[in-house]
Each structure stands twice: as C-alpha cells, then as structure tokens.
A = this chain, B = another copy of it.
C-alpha cells in the first residue's frame, strides 16, 4: 500500500489551492479598524493556523464541476470558512479543549468571554458576505443561499445541543442510528451538504432540487466524522493538532464509545458510566487509557473503521447520483478522490 502522501497528492494539492485562495480573500475582508486587539486581530487566528479547507474546497470544486466559476462562489466559500472557524471557537469552549491546530485554543489564550464574542463575530461576518452576494448573484439566488444557510445553522445547533446534552445527562443507551442522526446534524450538514449545495446553486443559477447532495453529504460527512474521532484516539498530536484521547476525556459520544457501551460486560459498563458521570477534570489519565484499551478489546475501533468504510462506499454510490451526469473534469475527479481521502487521511 503506498503512503497517503503519494496516493492523495492530487487531493491535497487541490485542497491547498482552494484553501489558499479562500484564506487570502478571507484575510482581506477583516477590518483594520478598532477594536483590533480584542476582536479583529483575533478573527484570523484559527484560519491562519491552516485547517485542511475541506468545506471551502467542496463548495468551490462543486461550483466548478457544475460549470460555475471560482469568483462567483468565493464570497460564499469565505463565509463557509468563517462559519466553520466560528463553530470551532465556540466548540472548544463547550468541550473544554486545550489545543486546536497545534496551538492553544482561543479561549485558553484570550478567556471565555472574548472567545465567545469572536465566534459571534465570525458568524456575523459570514452573514455579511452572504448579503454581499446580492451585487453579483442577484436577489433571488442570494435569498436561496440565505435559506440554505438558515437550515444549515439550525441543523448544526440542534446537533450541538444533542451532543452536549448527552454528555451533560450522561446518556449511555445509544444506538448506531442515534449516532448517525447526530453526525447528520452536527457534522454532515455544514461540512458537506451545505458547501456542495451552495456551490451547485451558484453554478446553476439556483436550479438544484432541495434533496440534491443530501445523501451524498450525509454519508461523506459521517465517514469524515468517524475518521476524525479515530484520529483522536490513534493519531499523532504533531499531525492531528488536538489532544490525543481528548474525546474520551470529554465523554464525547463517538461511534466507538457507543459500540463499547453496547458490547462490554455489565461490570465494565457500570464502571464506564461512573467514569463518564465525573466532571471532566476528575477523569484521570489512567481511566482514559483504560477506556481506550477496552475499545481495542471489544473491537470498537475496528468496528468504527469498518463503518467509516461503509459510509465512504455509500458516498461513492451517491456520488454517481449527485455528480454522475456532469462531464468529466479535474474538479469532479477531486470530489471523487475526496471520498477515500476522508477515511484514509492522517490529519
């Protein structure tokens, strides 16, 4: 098996290309006026740490594959990137995470109050960019994208509420279906469904049915989320950029944890539930490692890996429905290769 570096050279080059275009444009729209120190200088902090840029790439590549131009979708791509980074800022506070993209989280550096406000500003600037679409996309298409945005934000907030609620109330009776519903809302919608829909809407002048990309995006996003959770257990900090085992520490209901809860012995489940009922700071490293070992023992990690492959396969099938009719192009090829990349990436 060749290393991911050579197999995914084209994917990673394309991701970098779109990420760089978006980042450059994003940095240009951050105001240079006051308050700098407490607001505008902080908005580019996460974007400058260079994420993978999956979401903007999906939007821009879909727009191109459907016959549109980068320029027509650039505002929306920046908005997607700002929404994403704004979610991350709030997410890190909500999860009490310490590291993001190999550096301290924004709230750890600036305090919770300022970080909440910066996250809010990221969302506001996204809306503003989507409003500015009006000048070149016209009022109707702009409005369609607004409607998509409202739906995406609502799905994401509902998913976030579920995830936080399950941790807060120590909900342990969960099935794979519960996990899939969660990942649809909290991940797939804003990571895949929304970027693809926005890109295609812009390219076609709004001629995309409401269902288009729903299944493709759901499966692709779920494969992505499972791989992300696997990297949290198995990755290297230097590549992954977050605390390894951080998900266990925070009690996050990953597919691995749900599988483990459903397959370990009654005694282990009772101990696991006690561990999960503790406040995060009282969950000791040795117990975190015990949970990790249990996940290996009961095949929870292997199970999640096989699910990620299954979802990638389903996404591949849906790719044919969502993109199959389009003429072959580099961008279509990129999206196709992204499916495998989602579950094979090491960061």
The count of chain A contact residues (Cβ–Cβ below 8 Å) is 41
Residues of B with C-beta under 8 A to A147? 131
Q: Is A116 a contact partner of B139 (Cβ separation < 8 A)?
A: no
Which B residue sits closest to A146, measured CB to CB?
B131
**Would B39 and A114 count as touching, CB distance under 8 A?**
no
Contacts of A121 in B (CB 8 A): 154, 157, 161
A130, B80: Cα distance in complex, Å = 21
Interface residues of A, Cβ cutoff 8 Å to B: 34-35, 37-39, 90, 93-95, 110-114, 116-118, 120-121, 123-124, 127-128, 131, 134, 139, 143, 146-147, 150, 153-154, 157-158, 160-162, 164-165, 168-169
Instruction: List the B residue with the shortest CB-CB distance to A167.
Output: B113
> What's the number of copies of this chain in the assembled complex?
2
A89, closest chain B residue (CB): B116
Are A168's CB and B114's CB within 8 A? yes
Given contacts A120-B90, A131-B147, contact A114 B161 (CB under 8 A): yes
A94 touches B116 (CB 8 A): yes
B124, B128, B131, B165: the one contacting A35 at CB < 8 Å is B165
- Closest Cβ of chain B to A251, distance in Å, is 12
Contacts A93-B116, A95-B113, A120-B90 hold; do A38 and B161 have CB atoms under 8 A apart? yes
Q: Given known contacts A120-B90, A157-B120, A158-B35, is B150 in contact with A128 (CB within 8 Å)?
A: yes
Are B35 and A117 in touch, CB under 8 angstroms? no
B residues less than 8 Å from A134 (CB atoms): 143
Known: A94-B113, A94-B116. Contact between A168 and B38, CB under 8 A? yes
Closest chain B residue, CB of each to CB of A112? B93
Contacts of A117 in B (CB 8 A): 90, 94, 157, 160-161, 164
Known: A38-B168, A124-B157. 13 other contacts (CB 8 A): A34-B162, A35-B162, A39-B158, A93-B116, A94-B113, A111-B164, A113-B168, A114-B165, A117-B157, A117-B164, A124-B153, A127-B127, A131-B147
